[in-house]
Structure 1
Amino acid sequence: MSRATFRTGDRVVLPPYGIGVVSGTCQRPVAGETQSYYQVDFPNTSSRAFVPVSAPQGTGLRAALTTGDMPYLLSRLQVSQELNLPRQWGARHRRVTEILVSGDPYELATLTCELRRWNMERGLPDLDRQAFRRAIHLLEQEVCGLEDQCAQDVQQLLDHAWKETPQ
């Protein structure tokens, strides 16, 4: 498996926290040894994370989506793919939480479509509505700052889905 490397200024995603920016690397002592860490800062917050340079994939750290990824994300939002969420609340909540924590934008897009469909058909219970909003928010973070037309189309779909959700 190839190891991802990040540079200062790279937009990254650290599930489940969302979009951050690599502000550099630093050395920190852990268990008597000095190790290198990426310092990830999260915009508009004072939050910061330190991710081991030697194994960023262990934390789920990945590069944020780019304009080149938008057509596929848009297609996942436009084509309703069955997610087959369990009807039983406990099992459904576990599966939805797994998707949210994974931070996978394409799974989040599928989850968004499925929860939107459920909302249109019969409304969503409170925890499902919160998960729906969280999925939309995580996707909006990925799209934020991307200026191409496809990214704008993604944002419009997300805005539309959000407005359909009862407050």
Structure 2
Amino acid sequence: MTPLKQTAFLPGDRVVLSPYGIGVVSGTCERPLAGQAHTYYQIDFPSTVSRAYIPVADPGCTGIRRALNAADLPALLERLTRGSLELPRQWSARHRLVTEILACGNPFDLADLTCELRRWNVQRGLPDLDRQAFRRALKLLEQEISDLPDQLAAEVCGLLQDVWNEQPNAASAVAAPAV
């Protein structure tokens, strides 16, 4: 007998599916594929009219994961404020790593990326493409926590807004060499 995987979802569960974003499991349904009926989770995306069907037999193959919940917020906040990530100085290598992190959408990796790009931004400002990646990471995190009914979630959203509005240190920006 095969044990149930941890990826079993129930109606009402908040999930993340790249590139759609945050969705809600609305239930399961049977759909034909190659002449056979298969069971799928139906995921609705409240911010769009999109809908996705994820195979119940192997949801992990799609990259779907549970969305953050209130219990995850202290660890996320810790990584947003004290996280570290070794970003390559060479743009092409950095771009590959950043793109991979953004595509994966792991909120804790996004928090580490955000923390490091924030450091860079405050120290010397960010080049356009790094600034776009910074904004994308902030938006992905904000999307995932904005609808959590928790005071800490509101504080984290406020922090994300403050981080985006920070300006580079003028003295460091002038003295620092371009990245």
The TM-score, its normalising length taken from structure 2, stands at: 0.85
CA distance in 2, matches of 1:126, 1:48: 33
Map 1:3-82 to 2 at 5 A.
3-79=6-82, 81-82=83-84
Take 1:16 and 1:92, find their aligned partners in 2: how far apart are those partners? 21
Question: Take 1:71 and 1:13, find their aligned partners in 2: how far apart are those partners?
Answer: 20
Separation (CA, whole Å) in 2 of partners of 1:99 and 1:107:
7
> Number of residue pairs matched?
165
Q: How far off its partner does 1:17 sit? A: 2.6
My pick for the range that moved more, 149-158 or 63-72, is 149-158
Query: What are the equivalent positions in structure 2 for 1:1-167 lying under 5 Å apart?
Result: 2-79=5-82, 81-164=83-166
User: Residue type of the partner of 1:45?
Assistant: T
CA contact (8 A) 1:40 1:49 kept: yes
5+ unaligned residues in a row in structure 2: which ranges?
Answer: 169-179
What SS is found at the alignment partner of 2:9? coil
Secondary structure in structure 1 of the residue aligned to 2:54: strand
Residue 3 of structure 1, CA deviation? 4.0
Give the C-alpha shift of residue 165 in structure 1: 6.3
Higher Cα Rg, which structure: 2
> Gapped runs of 5+ residues in structure 1?
none
1:162 & 1:47 partners in 2: Cα distance?
29
* Aligned CA-pair RMSD: 1.7
Superposed CA deviations along residues 102-152 of structure 1, whole A, max 9, x for unmatched, are 111100000011111111122212221111111111111111122222212
8 Å contact kept, 1:16–1:103: no
Kindly provide the amino acid, as one letter, of the partner of residue 160 in structure 1.
D
Structure 1 residue runs of 4 or more that deviate by more than 3 Å after TM superposition: none
The residue matched to 1:24 in structure 2 has which SS? Answer: strand
Percent sequence identity over aligned pairs: 62
2:95 is paired with a residue whose SS is helix
**What is the CA–CA distance in structure 1 between the aligned matches of 2:121 and 2:103, rounded to whole Å?**
22
Task: Give the Å deviation of 1:35.
Answer: 1.2
For the 8 Å contact 2:15–2:64, the answer to whether it is kept is yes
8 Å CA contact 2:146, 2:154 repeated in 1 = no
